[in-house]
Amino acid sequence: MTDPTRNAGFTLLHAVLAKGRPLDAALDSLPRIEPRDKAAAHRLAACVLRHVGTLDAVLEPYLRRDPPPELRIILRMGAAAFLFLDTPAHAAVATSVELARARKLTPFAGLVNAVLRKVVATGPAALEELDMPRLDTPAWAWASWGKEARAIAEAHAHEAALDVSALPGFVPAGGIALPTGSYRFPAGTAVMEIPGFAEGKIWVQDAAAVLPAKLLAAQPGERVLDLCAAPGGKTAQLCAAGATVTAVERDKSRLATLRGNLERLHLAAETVLADATSWQPAAPFPAILLDAPCSATGTARRHPELLHIRKARDIDTVTALQDKLLDAAAAMLAPGGRLIYAVCSLQPQEGAARVEAACARLGLKRDPLSLPELPEAVTAQGDIRTHPGLWPAQGGMDGFFIARLVRA
């Protein structure tokens, strides 16, 4: 009988690598299996995706020709289970052979057995001479990250911790308080088990993701517009600060998620189902938060498939949308108002380049930001750029670009 974890792990990896599907979407589409097996399959698939280049380099000496894609997935899984997930050697080999047979690759079962036996015989020594950060990062991404590429890639090798935000006055027990105002729990922690979740006191939000709303500095009673607002973490921050929030989201299902999250947290905002590029408010807003759709490469620690399903050419598509959203946001901004532009991307084309173009095109002015709790994230232009290589001792953070623009 095929191990359910290996079978589900194969399904996830095939969905990502062969079909370009996001890992979470593939996970939601799995046939019903035990929660424990589902979690283990997700962990195995994520491990393979973090180390695709390294695993291929380990396997290469034992392959005379390029194996079929499905077979390569099985070999990667077996090697990853042994090298990175502490699976006993015999189990890593045996379950991979069983999986090959179950996936109608019986003629290759002997090859799987022979190759993985050589991998386990060599052991961790197979990794010693490899430049794993470079191998595990697509060339287009490495080149775009400049001098920070190695630190970012090294952080991507590890599963991210769980960060949560809390309503004012509530401190979740067991969490480590971070300078940005978040609370950190070990990787793999189930948020539902954290004290305060059931009572609507906390929500999941990376330490870097709290910064855009924090830097908007919404005041009690101030009218604030949150564009592209789902799933609602930043909306919750603004509401918790006492602002009068209008949250705009064009996707019906994502807006439903936002509304559900606010309801769970006992927070209230005006929610609007609309495309932010064409929606027009009754009156301009003094404060706007635009967390724009983007390549999301800054979240690759949490979504390791992103670097495999994204391509360099995809950036042009999202930058065109970002420009349209900035145009729309500028038109909604009151004289003297402030606009926070943010993307959870590491790509410079989506950050500083968009801001510079917007200032030239729209007559906006950059208003430099400061961040005393994280001064190394402040750029020479006064923007904020976080990346996974920051705070290595504390477990890093997601990559974000944040700028503040004002209408003169």
pLDDT in 10s for each residue of the chain, 408 residues = 678 999 999 999 999 999 999 999 999 999 888 989 999 999 999 999 999 999 999 999 999 999 999 999 999 999 999 999 999 999 999 999 999 999 999 999 999 999 999 999 999 999 999 999 999 999 999 999 999 999 999 999 999 999 999 999 999 999 999 999 999 999 999 999 999 999 999 999 999 999 999 999 999 999 999 999 999 999 999 999 999 999 999 999 999 999 999 999 999 999 999 999 999 999 999 999 999 999 999 999 999 999 999 888 889 899 999 999 999 999 999 999 999 999 999 999 999 999 999 999 999 999 999 999 999 999 999 999 999 999 888 899 999 999 999 987
Q: What pLDDT, on a 0 to 100 scale, did the predictor assign at position 211?
A: 98
Q: How many CB atoms lie within 10 A of CB 128?
A: 8
| pLDDT value of position 107 | 95
3-state helix, strand, coil in the chain (%, to 5): 50, 15, 35
Residues forming a β-bridge with 3 = none
The dihedral through the CA atoms of 141, 144, 150, 155 has a sign that is negative
Looking at residue 2, its pLDDT comes to 76
Structure tokens at 328: 């729309």
For 373-386, the DSSP string reads T-GGGB-TTS-EEE
- What pLDDT, on the 0 to 100 scale, is given for residue 313? 86
* CATH number listed for the domain at residues 4-135: 1.10.940.10
In degrees rounded to 5, what are phi and psi of residue 183? Answer: -125, 135
Residue 344 falls in the annotated catalytic set: yes
* Distance in angstroms (rounded) separating the CA atoms of residues 245 and 134: 43
Distance CA 387, CA 301 (A): 10
Length of the chain: 408
Please give the Cα distance from 181 to 129 (Å, whole number).
40
**Please, which residues have CB within 8 angstroms of residue 389's CB and are 6 or more apart in sequence?**
148, 150, 151, 152, 154, 155, 396
Residue 377 CA to residue 341 CA, distance in Å, equals 16
* 0.85 exceeded by pTM: yes
Annotated catalytic residue: which of 47, 228, 239, 344?
344
> According to the model, what pLDDT value does residue 3 have?
87
Q: What pLDDT shows up at residue 1?
A: 63
Q: Name the token pair of 126.
A: 């197979």
Domain ranges of the chain: 4-135, 162-203, 207-407
CATH superfamily of the 207-407 domain: Vaccinia Virus protein VP39 (3.40.50.150)
Structure confidence at residue 24 (pLDDT): 94
Q: Which residue type is seen at 280?
A: Q
| Widest CA span in the chain | 72
**CA distance linking residue 399 with residue 212, whole number of Å:** 12
Number of H helices, E strands in the chain: 16, 12
User: In degrees, to the nearest 5, what angle opens at C-alpha 385 toward C-alphas 373 and 205?
Assistant: 70
Distance CA 316, CA 334 (A): 30
